[in-house]
Amino acid sequence: MKQTLEKEWAYQKYFIMSHSQKEYLYIRQLFSTNNDDLEKKFNESILRAEQTPPTKGSLTNAYQHVWGYFKKSATSEEKEKFQALLNSLPLDEKDIQRFCQKLSIQYDKKYLLQSRILFPK
């Protein structure tokens, strides 16, 4: 069961980070300890994060983490575009999401291709 939850955590990670650093850190801690109620606490934490509106700071932090997957392979034009989109947060969140979706596909970043922040189910 923990393996299934770890897979779900991989999917949720940057989405949670974009909404609540507190919940992100809480979930990381849950997985680092033996916890009888892991699934229940994990799901409750996701719900709390979903109910927390993202801020400019939380979105910036999450997308900077996403950008880390591209920074070595991206062109200078892509870097400039990312920075411009990052500076326009939170107003243009869909624009940076679409841009990072495109880069995830272009650079075949499998982890991000299965990430809620970019590809919500």
Query: Residue 90 corresponds to which amino acid?
Result: P
Distance CA(111)–CA(88), nearest Å, equals 25
Q: Scanning the structure block, which residue is given the tokens 């920074």?
A: 71
Same domain as 104, residue 60:
yes
Helical spans, DSSP H, in 1-121: 2-19, 21-32, 38-50, 56-67, 76-87, 93-106, 110-113
Range of the domain at 36: 2-50
Same domain as 40, residue 7:
yes
In this predicted structure, what is the pLDDT of residue 91? 81
- 18 found inside a domain: yes
At residue 81, does pLDDT exceed 90? yes
> What are the pLDDT digits (tens) for 87-112?
999 887 999 999 999 999 999 999 99
> DSSP class of residue 108?
T
In this predicted structure, what is the pLDDT of residue 92? 79
Please say whether the beta carbons of 16 and 27 come within 8 A: yes
Same domain as 30, residue 69:
no
Distance CA(117)–CA(80), nearest Å, equals 21
- 118 found inside a domain: no
